[in-house]
Amino acid sequence: MKFEVTRNPSPLSDFDREAAISDPTFGSHFTDHQVVVVWEAGIGWHSAQVIPYGPILMDPSSAVLHYGQEVFEGIKAYRHEDGSIWTFRPEMNAARIQRSAKRMALPELPADVFIDSLHQLIAVDGDWVPKPEGEKTLYFRPFEIAAENFLGVRAAKRVEYRVIASPVGPYFVGGVKPISIWIALDSSRAGKHGTGEAKTGGNYAASLLAQQEGYDQGCSQVVFLDAETSTHVEELGGMNLFFIYKDGSVVTPGLDGTILRGITRDSLITLIRDRGIKITERKVTLDEVREGAKSGEIAEVLACGTAAVITPVGIFKSRDEEIVIGDNQPGELTVSLREELTGIQYGIVADRHNWMHKLAD
């Protein structure tokens, strides 16, 4: 598929762009261009374009506004010391947006078009990828929306895939400090055969009430328990969890259809195995977390995702209790895995698994 490129006639000046990327707050500035590819029933994907960044002219009856038929991705571009621009395992994001789309009755974008769309945006907006100091990156937000003007309830016959990009700094301001996590006791994120495995806006919408409650209690994230029994710890609103035991072994909740298949999660499992550490995917109950924290059996907990990479978890909190992990300090393995993964991403640690994909010289 060939992309038609229409340059932004008034891109941000070098001065304003440098200002925007020097101290970016997460997801508040956007580059000069966006990608659009259209899909129509009976025709398929067509009209691949790079166009100036700007509002979407949308009919108020557009299906996505009413029934939330949409999916998205999050993936970053990293600038290496020699100036080249790279991304991390894009074929995984390409496969995941297809799986998410399938669950939400949206068409599957070919993987090569997904990867090409990142190249296309970097070709025109490469200057927006910050220098690596201070863990800065350009965050891509690819997404697919039902863009048919129709209020009937069925899968849309017109869909748009778009990519926008935003220069970002560290997700959590204040550096690598343990975060406090609010335990959602009154809301579930994903049920059996639900949409938990799809990266779709509705899952996020469903998490916001508990997130708000968490903020009010001094927590920056929320952990959701399994919908069926409310006893297993599943994942955060947008990050997967790992538990590190005193004996050195690691446990992460298994993928049973209600947990998002994090690419950072998958990469960490590999890096942990590479070190010869035992890693198990299994259910982890809140009781086990409580008792393990108290006895010291659980030494570290980390949360991971593309946006925040790896973040130590210091405290789990609910209206009933406060569970402190270790001494509420970043754990040794957590910090070391974080250095290794970001080192691979920024090109300063050997990329043993060929995870890095070059976007520009």
Ligand X SMILES: *Cc1c(COP(=O)(O)O)cnc(C)c1O
Binding site for ligand X (CB under 6 A): 74, 199, 235, 238-240, 260, 262-265, 305-306
Distance CA 318, CA 337 (A): 28
Nearer to ligand X by Cβ, of 52 and 74: the residue is 74
Nearer to ligand X by Cβ, of 62 and 100: the residue is 100
Distance CA 141, CA 118 (A): 10
Nearer to ligand X by Cβ, of 12 and 302: the residue is 302
Nearer to ligand X by Cβ, of 33 and 265: the residue is 265
Given a contact cutoff of 8 angstroms between Cβ atoms, the answer to whether 33 and 124 are in contact is: yes
Nearest CA among 87, 78, 83 for reference residue 358: 87
Q: How far is the CB of 346 from ligand X (least distance, A)?
A: 17
Q: How far is the CB of 356 from ligand X (least distance, A)?
A: 16
Q: How far is the CB of 204 from ligand X (least distance, A)?
A: 7
H runs (alpha helix) in the chain: 14-22, 63-67, 90-103, 111-125, 201-216, 263-274, 286-295, 332-345
By DSSP bridging, strand 4-5 and strand 44-52 are parallel
Distance CA 11, CA 144 (A): 25
- Mapped onto helix, strand or coil, the DSSP state of residue 325 is coil
Q: How far is the CB of 260 from ligand X (least distance, A)?
A: 3
SS3 of 13-77: the string is CHHHHHHHHHCCCCCCCCCCEEEEEEEECCCEEEEEEEEECCCCCCCCCEHHHHHCCEEECCEEE
Q: Looking at the chain, how many residues does it have?
A: 361
Which amino acid is residue 231, in one-letter code?
T
Nearer to ligand X by Cβ, of 265 and 317: the residue is 265
226 CB burial (10 A radius; 0-12, 13-18, 19+): buried
Nearer to ligand X by Cβ, of 62 and 220: the residue is 220
Given a contact cutoff of 8 angstroms between Cβ atoms, the answer to whether 124 and 5 are in contact is: yes
Nearer to ligand X by Cβ, of 238 and 292: the residue is 238
Nearer to ligand X by Cβ, of 12 and 260: the residue is 260
Q: How far is the CB of 31 from ligand X (least distance, A)?
A: 20
Distance CA 153, CA 145 (A): 15
Q: How far is the CB of 355 from ligand X (least distance, A)?
A: 12
Q: How far is the CB of 152 from ligand X (least distance, A)?
A: 29
Q: How far is the CB of 223 from ligand X (least distance, A)?
A: 11
